[in-house]
């Protein structure tokens, strides 16, 4: 049995979900690599959040490009942009946390050598 086979059902690290809990704190899901219903639901929610952000951005640009846009429209666009940015940052954080850590040869050499490429000690 190869290493890939032995790790096929090992639990993955916790996944940051695209919605907060009722108290507004982050929600996490621990599941196997294949995921499950909640993983698929989270994937769908992330896709919806990003698509909504694209739509809101297009609308906000139209409002902001018009110097005669009423204050209430500009304010509403700003509020929606902030909501969409919050969602997009959560999606980016979640996806970034799920990326495998990749060590390059330079990383391994740097870990072994206490001096950087310029010959000076790490600070």
Q: DSSP letters along the chain, please?
A: --HHHHTTTSBPPPEEEEEE-TTS-EEEE--BTT--HHHHHHHHHHHHHHHHHHHHHHHHHHHHH-TT--HHHHHHHHHHHHHHHHHHHHHHHHHHHHSPP---HHHHHHHH-SB-TTSPBP-
pLDDT digits (tens, 9 = 90+) for 38-73: 999 999 999 999 999 999 999 999 999 999 999 999
Query: Which of the four pLDDT bands, split at 50, 70 and 90, describes residue 87?
Result: very high
Model pTM score: 0.68
Mean pLDDT score of the chain: 82
């Amino acid at each position: 049995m190869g290493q890939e086979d032995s790790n096929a059902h090992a639990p993955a690290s916790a996944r940051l979900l695209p919605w907060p809990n009722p108290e507004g704190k982050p929600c996490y899901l621990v599941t196997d690599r294949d995921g499950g219903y909640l993983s698929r639901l989270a994937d769908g929610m992330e896709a919806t959040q990003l698509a909504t952000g694209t739509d809101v951005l297009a609308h906000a640009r139209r409002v902001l490009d018009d110097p005669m846009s009423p204050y209430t429209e500009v304010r509403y666009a700003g509020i929606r942009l902030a909501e969409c940015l919050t969602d997009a940052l959560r999606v980016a954080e979640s996806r970034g946390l799920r990326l495998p850590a990749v060590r390059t040869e330079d990383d391994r050499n740097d870990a072994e050598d206490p001096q950087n490429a310029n010959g000076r000690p790490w600070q």
